[in-house]
Chain A
Amino acid sequence: MKNNKIKSIIQAFFTDLLFWIYLWGCFLYLINSWFEINLKTSFVIIAGLIFTIFFLTAGISLGRKIFVPTKFTNIRWNKTFWGWSIIVVLAVTFIVGWKLVEVNPYKFFTQFKNAGGIMSGIFNPNLDILIMSLTALAETIYLALLATLFAIPIAFVLSFFAARNLMPKTILGNAVYVIIRSIATLFRSIEAIVWAIIFSVWVGIGPFAGMLALMVHSIASLTKLYSEQIENIDTGPVEAIKATGATTLQVWIFAVIPQIISPYLAFTIYRWDINVRMATIVGFVGGGGIGLMLLQQQQLLRWHNVGLIIWLIAAVVWIMDMTSAKVREKLVEM
């Protein structure tokens, strides 16, 4: 009981501290950029601490409201101190955001003619480079396809070891599960574009680097999707097949795989769909294909070429989207 009270006061203290430091930090940023006065950062921390201690002991702060329950709860929120603190912090956040993002409606409405080149390019694509662009596009589609194909068997095998319900509840089983899951999560959180930068240095700029980037990202995310699918299977058949005297591998083949095969296919096709989209982006940073070509034409300001490339990319994404949705629909019915 007493421990709980101390715990909630500590939680309230840190919430308030975070709140006041953030608020003073925002003020400091605004004052520095508007009045060109240089206030010290240490000011933020000291002011934050003082305000935290004052309002926490006064018993009206936000942290207190969240973590320390009080009896007087039917005061309307706009008559309370914590209610106003939320409003102030939202307002200040909006102003700081506007400033940081350099929002400028004036530019938006008056400088449309700057985009004239690319607009006219889109409506008058240069068909002379069609063959060349199609070649680059094929590169992109095939690199996405290969990245998916290479990822499937690797993710397939890994997913069995990343499924909690299949791994034995021993220290080794647990370790394997935790290691594979964490690596997959880590690799997935690194965007494909970052992998492309790494691989374009490693194996040189070109589609191979793009394929490796997408492959690593696909393995990580398919492993996660696949293994979650395994964790959701009906355990009844697993138990029944075990009871016949089947070996572990036989249990996997007869009780697990038949249950996961159609969701696996659906995920994989979805992944290929994503990979085709990402393949263009990855091309921008050295992954080859149509993305690289788009970057080069844009830097040369050849807007009519850029226009054609944009149309081709849109067409491919549209077709992929349609077919993958159709195929997945069929798989769900299976």
Chain B
Amino acid sequence: MKNIIEIKNLHKVYARGTHALKGINLNVKEGEFCILLGLSGSGKSTLLRCMNKLIDSTSGEIRICDEDVVSALGNNLRRIRRQIGMIFQQFNLIKNLSALTNVLTGKLGYVSLGHSIMFTQHKDDVNIARDNLKRVGLLDFANKKVKNLSGGQQQRVAIARALMQNPKLILADEPVASLDPATADSVMKYLGELNKKDNMTVICSLHFLSLARKYGTRVVALKDGEIVFEGSPKEIDEKKFQEIYGEDAEEVEIK
């Protein structure tokens, strides 16, 4: 299998001097479901945001689908970003717009300004958006304002928005951290399905080992901006877990 992500010696130093990533080397193959583990502040969000250049890295190389992300600008950057769907802990939807309009914004990377202003007039776009909402089981909510939906429903709208991009890769930054355990699992199921059925590569940061074992094909653990473990989810026993999360940590089960 081909590498979809190749990261070499990546460093990120924030403006105030925090050295958040200290020489990350990471390759991800097409079709993997890669779980990022690590304590709060270990650099998971930083790493994910460097991958689509939401933040600039300080040094090192990032290649996604054989394209150089670090130097990409303007239209090149736009082309790279639109193949990468992103899911956030806080859903990051536009709260006072409808679910359908939010899903349509997933298409912005492909269309002109004029086209995007008249989005709801384009039947084919609207139909694809409705199909994507249907996939996450929210067709009935298409015209509801997002702020009236529950957290789990909002995250599913966000997944539908990412699907609208027709992405090869999905970056999910703690997608279930603000949801209850049952809802969390149902949202993870959709990500699992995209990985298996649609063959999308997923990189997902998580705090629950049980979810990591259930959905992940590989685990990468970060600590203080460095990779401290890489391997299959099954390899993480209590000892490894304590290496990643510190001496006093105890595993919390999520069924």
Contacts and interface: CB of A to CB of B under 8 A. Distances in A.
Contacts of B90: 236
Interface in A231-261: 234, 236-237, 239-247, 249-250, 253-255, 258-259
A243 B93 CA distance: 12
A306 to B, nearest CB: 49
Name the residue among B94, B95, B110 with the largest chain A CB count within 10 angstroms: B94
Contact of A243 (B84, B95, B113): B84
B105 A244 contact: yes
B108 A254 contact: yes
Contact of A249 (B88, B92, B113): B113
Contacts of A239: 54, 88, 92
Secondary structure of the A contact surface, majority rule: helix
A275 to B, nearest CB: 28
A320 B120 CA distance: 37
A192 B105 CA distance: 43
Nearest to B87: A240
A254 B116 contact: yes
Contact of A247 (B105, B107, B113): B113
B94 A255 contact: yes
B164 to A, nearest CB: 8
B135 to A, nearest CB: 18
B94 A246 contact: no
Contact of A237 (B92, B107, B116): B92
Interface string A26-49: 000000000000000000000000
Nearest to B97: A258
A237 to B, nearest CB: 5
B81 interface: yes
A244 B94 contact: no
Nearest to A238: B92
B63 to A, nearest CB: 18
Given A236-B90, A254-B94, A254-B108, A245 B116 contact: no
A9 to B, nearest CB: 33
A334 interface: yes
B165 interface: yes
A250 B116 contact: yes
B92 A240 contact: yes
Contacts of A243: 52, 54, 81, 84, 86
Contact of A240 (B79, B80, B93, B116): B93
A189 B60 CA distance: 49
Contact of A242 (B81, B95, B97, B110): B81
B82 A244 contact: yes
B113 A258 contact: no
Interface residues of A, number: 21
Given A240-B86, A250-B108, A250-B116, A245 B97 contact: no
Contact of B108 (A246, A262, A334): A246
Contacts of A258: 94, 96-97
Nearest to A236: B92
Interface in A256-273: 258-259, 262
Contacts of A249: 113
A245 B109 contact: yes
B19 interface: no
Contacts of B233: none
A245 B78 contact: yes
A244 B116 contact: no
B152 interface: no
Interface in B41-58: 52, 54
B11 interface: no
A245 B79 contact: yes
B93 A245 contact: no
Interface in B14-43: none
A240 B54 CA distance: 9
Interface string B126-137: 000000000000
A334 B158 CA distance: 23
B117 interface: yes
Contact of A244 (B88, B96, B108, B113): B108
Q: Which of A254, A255, A258 has the most CB of B within 10 A?
A: A254
B54 A244 contact: no
Contacts of A237: 92-95
Contacts of A246: 78, 105, 108-109, 116
Contacts of A240: 86, 88, 92-93, 158, 161
A259 B84 contact: no
Contacts of A234: 95
Interface string B60-88: 00000000000000000111111010101
Contacts of A254: 94, 105, 108, 116
A245 B108 contact: yes
8 contacts: A234-B95, A239-B54, A243-B86, A244-B107, A246-B78, A246-B109, A250-B116, A259-B94
Given A242-B54, A243-B86, A244-B81, 8 more contacts: A240-B92, A244-B105, A245-B78, A246-B108, A250-B116, A253-B113, A254-B108, A259-B94
Interface of B: 52, 54, 77-82, 84, 86, 88, 90-97, 105-110, 113, 116-117, 158, 161, 165
